[in-house]
Amino acid sequence: PLPFESNNWAIYFSNTKPIQSDSSDAFDITHINGDLHALTPTKNFTGFEADASLEIPFKGTFWSISQTDATPNYFIVSGELEPEIIQSTQEQVNTSTEEAYLPFVAEFKRPEQYKRSEQDNSPLADAEHLYQYYQNLQASTAAESQPRIIPKPAQSNWTGDTMSLDKGLQLPADFLSSALGKLFSLESLPLSQTGLLVQLNQDDDIAKQGYQLDIGDTIQLRYRDTAGQFYGLITLAGLYDPDSNSLPKGQIQDQPRYDFRGVHLDVARNFHSKTFIEKLLDQMALLKLNKLHLHLADDEGWRLEIPGLPELTDIGGYRCFDLTERRCLQPQLGSGPFKDTSVNGYLSVTEYQQLLQYAAERHIEIIPSLDMPGHSRAAIKSMEVRYQRLMAEGKTEQAQRYRLVEPEDKTVYSSVQYYNDNTLNPCIDSTYRFVEKVLSEVQAMHQAVGVPIQRYHIGADETEGAWVDSPACQALMQQQGINEADKLTGYFIEKVTATVAGMGVTAGAWSDGLSHVDAQKLPEQIHANVWGTLYWDGAKTAHQMANTGWDVVLSIPDVLYFDFPYSAHPDEPGYYWATRSTDSFQVFQFMPDNLPVHAEIWRDRMGNAFRVEDNTPLQDDARAYGIQGQLWSETLRLDSQVSYMLFPRLHALAERAWHKADWELAYTAGQSYGPDTNYFDQAHRQQQLADWQGFAGTLVTGYLPLLTQQELMFRLPPPGAVIEHGVLS
């Protein structure tokens, strides 16, 4: 029993948005850092009876309308006693798909919380609609008469006949025995020397990553490079029907729409297991997605072992109740007081290298990212523990070497996630020594297993407010003629991208950071993740950066952030700062080549109309280089929750990243643009809906079972269910 009669206790809890005031003079609520708060009794607290309950209403800024806002693992700490968890919101997503369905058939109980304001028109996906939708989809799968895979090939012609594989098939053995071969049940194919040989022919006339597949009396696969051969075999496996042991006869000519077809996974906020990442890589491969942007460090965690700097992972890989942060980082994001939970952890060098190889075998490039100079709290705190240790050992010089704190910097700021100590100082040498040390270790890890690092993402987002009162920065600004502290982000980017380029590696960064730089001062090749919203400056920034000659990867949050809810139902998990909902249909109907143009009107799901910022026309030879789906993990503690958020939106992403649909060509610039806007004439709208039906049917019959096979959670019923504009999504 805890001594509630004493005033010597506190309840710690996470709340995404800071709490402004509470209504009781018996308690104080203090913001500690980030989302961590403490509720403590004041001298007016006189105790309460055993089993009594007490309500303490408090006011926050905003965001209090969905289950995600009720962060779990409130815990109480009292005197010398071990912390104890006193409240834990039930995790919404369980590990079996059956159970995952349950929250959505449960009665919709909280209509009063659903609308954010009187004007909020977000469509409601209630249980009945979801259920109906699933039933309809299953019934409509017969509608697709042509063989179909995801993503849809550029061109295909089917004869209508099938080829029986009674005599077996000879496929390259390594493909058959791979995890992918097993996923497609190919290992059940009778393999014999007499089986039909898949004839593999290299051909320089085929496009990069492309292939041509002829299935007739023989099977011929022509390709230019090994990626093309791999994708051709994936297609063949996707067409194989194990029930009839046959393949459809026909010809496919295929090549990707974008070179860069990416997924961003944040394992920094909440750690996610290597096993999960491997399953994700399998699914990416079969969807022909080829880049994994792995977000390995942020304020709440450092997830990659760096030889020589053990504190980064010994301290920075864990959150637990230690407000001094000498043993671990403090609790955040509802991680509770204990070290031993799945949100904690990191990848050892060996595990990371195994992932690199696993990805390379599937023609996937891993793009490591250790976000800097903002979002760097885990690094700063871990390296401070190291500093203290070395100082105590009398090793002053070594202690200073990689120290990330300038003690004289008295700047008071609050980052977007409410930290006041999370930004590397771009004006001290030890910052760059640290960056170079980390980068050289990462490069060495890649080299040691023969998977050279090609791209490195420096982060560079969200740095506002820091350095204003840093003496080192004041001196540097004077020396460099920099007039505002914010522009130091540009200075940091220039220096670090030069280091990255010097290693023979392409540097990537988020677009808000890149907007602080003078392009002339950067290496020629820059990879820019554009994350402005479509209704504000996303399209404009994408065009400007593409015109600069950079590799623009569209990471538009209102369509491509998969940490947002599928629908605006309060039981749906996820953040919603850029949109209340993004369902799979919205991703499917995204037209990355047709971003809104000058003065176009964007309509959001709340019925609001925005005039999109004046756009810059794209120069003739400029275009987006790729698209990427983002999964940030602040709200996603379990692997199963991440999986639920990714699938099946990832299938829709793959469809648009690989295949440009005919109906996209019918879009006329200047019309209203938005998540549910009808951009076309009726004929093209019908064409789009038919395409969607075919896609959705293929998803249900061909692709969701592969997720089940790998015990990967997905959203059921798929994909979303909004009965609006005559379309279910």
Please give the helix or strand (H or E) that residue 19 lies within, else none: strand 19-22
Q: Which is nearer to ligand NAG, 360 or 416 (CB)?
A: 416
- The Cα–Cα gap between 59 and 422 comes to 26
Interface with ligand NAG, residue 300, by CB under 6 A: no
Q: Closest Cα to residue 440, out of 307, 285, 542, 298?
A: 307
Residue nearest ligand NAG, Cβ-based: 632
Q: Which is nearer to ligand NAG, 563 or 604 (CB)?
A: 563
Is 112 noted as a catalytic residue in this protein? no
Q: Which of residues 533-592 bind ligand NAG (CB under 6 A)?
A: 561, 563, 575
Q: Give the active site residue among 300, 305, 384, 462.
A: 462
Q: Where are the beta strands (DSSP E) in 484-578?
A: 506-510, 526-530, 551-554
Q: Report the nearest approach of ligand NAG to the CB of residue 371 (Å).
A: 7
Choose which of 360, 416, 468, 519 interacts with ligand NAG (CB under 6 A). Answer: 416
Choose which of 69, 254, 461, 537 interacts with ligand NAG (CB under 6 A). Answer: 461
* Residue 363 CB coordination number (10 Å): 20
- The Cα–Cα gap between 255 and 223 comes to 10
Query: What are the start-end ranges of the H helices in 449-537?
Result: 471-480, 488-502, 511-514
State the burial class of residue 109 (Cβ atoms within 10 Å of its Cβ: 0-12, 13-18, 19+).
exposed
Binding-site string for ligand NAG from residue 636 to residue 675, where x marks contact by CB under 6 A and - marks none: ----------------------------------------
End-to-end alpha carbon distance in the chain: 51
Q: Report the nearest approach of ligand NAG to the CB of residue 661 (Å).
A: 28
Structure-block tokens of residue 322: 């230690």
Q: Report the nearest approach of ligand NAG to the CB of residue 264 (Å).
A: 9
Q: Which is nearer to ligand NAG, 252 or 367 (CB)?
A: 367
Q: Determine the residue type at 470.
A: S
Coil, helix or strand at residue 49: coil
Q: Which residues pair with 362 in a beta bridge?
A: none
Binding-site string for ligand NAG from residue 194 to residue 223, where x marks contact by CB under 6 A and - marks none: ------------------------------
- The Cα–Cα gap between 680 and 666 comes to 7
- The Cα–Cα gap between 453 and 292 comes to 12
Interface with ligand NAG, residue 462, by CB under 6 A: yes
Binding-site string for ligand NAG from residue 125 to residue 144, where x marks contact by CB under 6 A and - marks none: --------------------
Interface with ligand NAG, residue 271, by CB under 6 A: no
Choose which of 634, 639, 655, 664 interacts with ligand NAG (CB under 6 A). Answer: 634
Q: Report the nearest approach of ligand NAG to the CB of residue 653 (Å).
A: 16
Q: Report the nearest approach of ligand NAG to the CB of residue 223 (Å).
A: 36
Give the largest CA-CA distance in the chain.
87
Q: Which is nearer to ligand NAG, 427 or 578 (CB)?
A: 578
Q: Report the nearest approach of ligand NAG to the CB of residue 512 (Å).
A: 7
Q: Report the nearest approach of ligand NAG to the CB of residue 168 (Å).
A: 49
Q: Which is nearer to ligand NAG, 559 or 661 (CB)?
A: 559
Choose which of 45, 585, 632, 703 interacts with ligand NAG (CB under 6 A). Answer: 632
Ordered DSSP codes for 351-392: HHHHHHHHHHHTT-EEEEEEEESSS-HHHHHHHHHHHHHHHH
Coil, helix or strand at residue 458: strand
Q: Closest Cα to residue 721, out of 139, 67, 131, 138?
A: 131
Give the chain's length. Answer: 729
By DSSP bridging, strand 526-530 and strand 551-554 are parallel
* Residues contributing to the site for ligand NAG (CB under 6 A): 416, 461-462, 510, 531, 561, 563, 575, 632, 634
Indicate which residues carry an active-site annotation.
462
